[in-house]
Amino acid sequence: MTKIVELAGGVGGARLAHGLQAVLGDRLTVVVNSADDLERHGLAVWPDHDTVMYTLAGRDDRDRGWGVADETWTVIEELGRYGEETWFRLGDRDIATHIVRTARLRDGDRPTEVALHLQRALGLRATVLPMTDDRVRTAVRTDDGWLSFQDYFVRRRQEPTVHDVRFDGVETAGPTPEVMAALAAAASIVIAPSNPIVSVGPILALPGIRETLLAARRRGVPVVAVSGIVGGKALRGPADRMLVSLGGESSALGVARLYAELADAILIDTLDAALGPAIEALGVRVVVTDTIMLDDAGRERLARAVLETAVAAA
């Protein structure tokens, strides 16, 4: 049974994961960024884990593009009545997830155990693993100073220019045994079309992960990335602006440079076909395909292209 590990952030990674799950079922493990996690109103909120979980459960809201389908908003309205800050819009169904999670964490369960409990309850076939059970928190430096990631991302709508990024706690954090076991068993490793700096970045910054990926490559386990930058723009979020303000380039080539040491191949969009030779010059094989996942068929089509690329690279 071919096992695949995907390293993922939020929406883009979730959609690809959904396509991969359609092909692979329980042979898929998604390792998610947990450096965007936060505490709101005393509740443990894990945006990337939950986006992937809801999407794999078929419960992602496709009109809104984030959160749970069929959501309601009573609790946040009432929290505002009590003077709580409500710029982080938590829906009622989503809050139920955070309530269960917070209670279990307070009871002493590891984040990984809590994640698996939530996923089992929602009937996921694939497995979603937090990258670490330790606390890692992304902060970004802007003209207003260092901001927590969600302050920048949600409250300030990614408007400030990001001059620097750090992952607080990452030096002393470790990947979980479950993550290491999944990577050790993987027939190939996929880097999702998520923000390479603040979504995939924290996973790769965890002590031991980069070395594990390099060791996997040496064993002949292909590492395949997908560019989330299409036509110079991020499909969602601030990755394009962050790439530029941090000294890189907002293009599939800019993404490929970040992954050049790690990836055997990268899938880029047909819009970016002209960048192929420059990326191949980095030593990364290029596959040009339609990377935009508009529906279930689009998710599965990209998943199959990723898996075919992995087979070809092996």
Applying CB under 8 A, which residues contact its own copies?
41-43, 71-72, 74-79, 81-84, 92-93, 95-97, 99-100, 102-103, 106, 117-118, 121-122
Supply the minimum distance, in Å, between the C-beta of residue 50 and its own copies. Answer: 12
Supply the minimum distance, in Å, between the C-beta of residue 120 and its own copies. Answer: 9
Tell me the two tokens of residue 123: 């009937």
Sequence-ordered strand ranges (E) for 202-312: 223-226, 229-230, 233-234, 265-269, 285-289
Nearer to its own copies, 43 or 278 (CB): 43
Nearer to its own copies, 110 or 304 (CB): 110
User: Beta partners for 40?
Assistant: 43
CB atoms within 10 A of CB 307: 20
Which residue is it, tokens 């070809």?
312
Closest CA to 45 of 30, 60, 23, 67: 67
Backbone angles phi, psi at 241, to 5 degrees: -70, -35
Supply the minimum distance, in Å, between the C-beta of residue 40 and its own copies. Answer: 9
Nearer to its own copies, 12 or 47 (CB): 47
Q: How far apart are CA 105 and CA 98, in angstroms?
A: 10
Sheet strands side by side (includes 145-148): 145-148, 137-142, 164-168
Nearer to its own copies, 118 or 310 (CB): 118
Supply the minimum distance, in Å, between the C-beta of residue 89 and its own copies. Answer: 14
Nearer to its own copies, 96 or 314 (CB): 96
Q: Do 249 and 257 contact (CB within 8 A), yes or no?
A: yes
Supply the minimum distance, in Å, between the C-beta of residue 74 and its own copies. Answer: 4
CB atoms within 10 A of CB 181: 13
Collapse the DSSP code of 202 into the 3-class scheme (helix H, G, I; strand E, B; otherwise coil) and give the result.
Answer: helix
Supply the minimum distance, in Å, between the C-beta of residue 177 and its own copies. Answer: 25
Nearer to its own copies, 122 or 281 (CB): 122
